[in-house]
């Protein structure tokens, strides 16, 4: 008996799977941008080993004594010799102090000191009531050539930094004597310690590793699985995969959004420094860095949205919201934060902000930033987070293509 030998069934052919290279590059760049978000703060912040702790002030000294000591220390340390020729900004890294200067034309007549005078001074929008009174009295005294004073910046009564202002006759930026001009100095020292900065750096490094893990686990790992499945498509000879933007995957993680919001809150002293940077344009590089840093405040909104997502879906209200792309929102925040802050500091809005900074302040020599923070334009952004950008696309080609 002979057995018939039949041809074996053909082996299944696996589809050739390729990646759309431009989409992979863009997706990787956007993913890396999210992963490095905690560390991007060091574009403006100092590392722990770069700073020294401020000498503690005597708890029994009066504010008048402290102000005299601070002003003497600042005016001696930050004279025109520490600035580059014609430079308007100096950063003393070791003492965490930012110093701005500008040549200001003394106004001959003005109707409102706030609108006509303080809007021309860097940081005038942040003045405490006592400093505001000192500056306005100086402007109304044509024979006075120098003035100085200090005040504290607080948020929910916690000290975030110490400010001092002083003037010198003439234009020290151009090294010229002119009776009509005076050189205005503003120094802001952050209330930062090496121990606190070290703890914050450790927190940011752990958060960076967690972000990388989340993007791999919740997004890129599934793209690899999709690649394996595409190879088994029976009718396809070639599959091309396009990767999307993983930003929304990270934003919808409530742990990530909450941790980044806490990170911004822990850096409120740097937020104050960058707010000063965005109300001046003499140093455009510092203005640009301030815009980038202030865009981080959108994480407060992202944290709120991530926490509110559960309630929205529970109540079935999702149809009431129009989602926006989170990457575009972050880019828009970076471009809007600086110019809008600058406009408010140099317009009639200064009246409202000076009132808010004095509201809740413990004394005339300090400001309370809790109320103005709530009025900052970046914190009013509450877009619904769209996940369309995270979509992956698969193009399949048969034997005829």
Q: What are 227-245's pLDDT values in tens digits?
A: 777 777 666 677 777 888 8
Model confidence at 347, in pLDDT bands (50, 70, 90)? Answer: confident
Cβ atoms of 142 and 109 closer than 8 Å: no
When divided into structural domains, the chain yields a total of 2
Q: Is residue 378 part of a domain?
A: no
Domain that holds residue 20: 16-47+196-365
For residues 78 and 29, membership in a common domain is answered with no
pLDDT of residue 187: 94
For residues 171 and 268, membership in a common domain is answered with no
- More confident site: 98 or 387: 98
Give the predicted TM-score (pTM) of the model.
0.81
Q: Is residue 371 part of a domain?
A: no
For residues 207 and 330, membership in a common domain is answered with yes
- More confident site: 375 or 280: 280
- Each residue's pLDDT tens digit, 372-401: 555 554 444 433 455 454 555 555 556 555
Domain closes at, from 127, 158, 192: 192
**What whole-number distance in Å separates Cα of residue 122 and Cα of residue 124?**
6
For residues 178 and 287, membership in a common domain is answered with no
**What whole-number distance in Å separates Cα of residue 245 and Cα of residue 223?**
12
Joined together, the tokens standing for residue 103 give: 């040549």
For residues 258 and 346, membership in a common domain is answered with yes
Whether the per-residue pLDDT at 310 is higher than 70: the answer is: no
Domain closes at, from 134, 166, 192: 192
Cβ atoms of 41 and 293 closer than 8 Å: yes
- Each residue's pLDDT tens digit, 333-344: 777 778 888 888
Whether the per-residue pLDDT at 159 is higher than 90: the answer is: no
Q: Is residue 278 part of a domain?
A: yes
Whether the per-residue pLDDT at 12 is higher than 70: the answer is: no
Whether the per-residue pLDDT at 163 is higher than 50: the answer is: yes
For residues 141 and 22, membership in a common domain is answered with no
Q: What is the average pLDDT across 348-375?
A: 74
For residues 233 and 112, membership in a common domain is answered with no
For residues 81 and 208, membership in a common domain is answered with no
Q: Is residue 54 part of a domain?
A: no
Strand, helix or coil at 349? coil
Whether the per-residue pLDDT at 58 is higher than 70: the answer is: no
């Amino acid at each position: 008996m002979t057995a018939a030998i039949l041809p074996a069934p053909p082996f299944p052919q696996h589809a050739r799977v390729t990646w759309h290279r431009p989409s992979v590059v863009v997706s990787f760049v956007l993913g890396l941008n999210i992963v490095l978000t905690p560390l991007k703060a060091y574009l403006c912040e100092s590392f722990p080993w770069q700073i020294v702790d401020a000498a503690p002030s005597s708890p029994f000294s009066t504010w008048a004594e402290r102000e005299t000591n601070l002003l003497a220390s600042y005016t001696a340390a930050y004279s025109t010799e520490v600035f580059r020729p014609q430079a308007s900004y100096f950063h003393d890294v070791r003492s965490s102090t930012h110093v701005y200067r500008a040549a200001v034309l003394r106004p001959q007549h003005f109707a409102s000191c706030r609108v006509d005078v303080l809007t021309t001074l860097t940081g005038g929008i942040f003045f405490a009531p006592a400093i505001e009174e000192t500056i306005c009295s100086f402007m109304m005294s044509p024979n006075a050539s120098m003035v100085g004073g200090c005040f504290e910046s607080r948020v929910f009564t916690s000290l975030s930094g110490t400010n001092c202002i002083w003037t010198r006759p003439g234009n020290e930026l151009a090294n010229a004597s002119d009776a009509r001009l005076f050189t205005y100095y503003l120094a802001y020292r952050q209330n930062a310690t090496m121990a606190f900065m070290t703890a914050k750096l450790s927190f940011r490094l752990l958060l960076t590793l967690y972000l990388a893990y989340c993007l791999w686990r919740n997004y890129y790992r599934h793209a690899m699985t999709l690649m394996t499945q595409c190879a088994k498509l029976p009718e396809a000879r070639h599959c091309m995969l396009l990767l999307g933007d993983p930003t929304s995957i990270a934003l919808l993680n409530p742990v990530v959004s909450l941790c980044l919001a806490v990170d911004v809150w822990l850096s409120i002293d740097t937020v104050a420094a960058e707010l000063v940077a965005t109300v001046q344009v003499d140093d455009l590089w510092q203005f640009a860095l301030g815009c980038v840093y202030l865009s981080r405040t959108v994480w407060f909104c992202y944290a709120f949205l991530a926490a509110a997502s559960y309630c929205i879906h529970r109540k079935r209200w999702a149809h009431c919201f129009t989602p926006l792309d989170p990457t575009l929102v972050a880019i828009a925040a970076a471009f809007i934060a600086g110019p809008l802050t600058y406009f408010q500091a140099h317009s009639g809005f200064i009246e409202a902000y000076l009132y808010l900074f004095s509201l809740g302040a413990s004394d005339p020599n300090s400001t309370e930033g809790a109320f103005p923070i709530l009025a900052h334009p970046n914190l009013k952004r509450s877009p619904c987070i769209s996940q369309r950008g995270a979509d992956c696309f698969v193009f399949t080609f048969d034997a005829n293509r």
